A = this chain, B = another copy of it.
Amino acid sequence: MKKPVNLGQKLSLFSEQWKPKIIASYNGNDVMVVKIKGEFTWHSHADTDDFFHVLKGKLKIKLRDGDVELGPGEIYIVPKGVEHCPVAEEEVHLLLVEPAGTPNTGDMATAAKKEYL
């Protein structure tokens, strides 16, 4: 019997924040889980949309033309090139999808290293 990826089990394996963990691959995209708390930096991705799916907690994504707030079971896709700044007052667990190699800050110089989990 093959095994699926269990998101809760993957999230139980680490506690560090702001370090995306790759849990699967889809057509050259990294499917990742991450824990975040606090405010990120304003950034954009010139070449890709940014897929956010909240698994736990409340996430605010600040946008220049109006914020969006997401709770568990909610998705928001920031379009390519659009500046955004994720904010989590309490810890938030996210499922992310990004093309492999995409820097989370929009800049390889400051990006977190993504690890396989």
* Chain A residues near B (Cβ < 8 Å): 1-8, 23-27, 29, 31, 48-49, 51, 54-55, 63, 66-70, 73-77, 80, 97, 99
Contact = CB atoms under 8 A, between A and B. Distances in A.
Copies in the complex: 2
Contacts of A68: 1-4
Nearest to A55: B73
A54 B3 CA distance: 14
SS of A interface (majority):
strand
Nearest to A99: B27
Nearest to A3: B68
Q: A-B pairs with the 5 shortest C-beta distances?
A: A4-B74, A2-B68, A4-B70, A4-B76, A5-B75
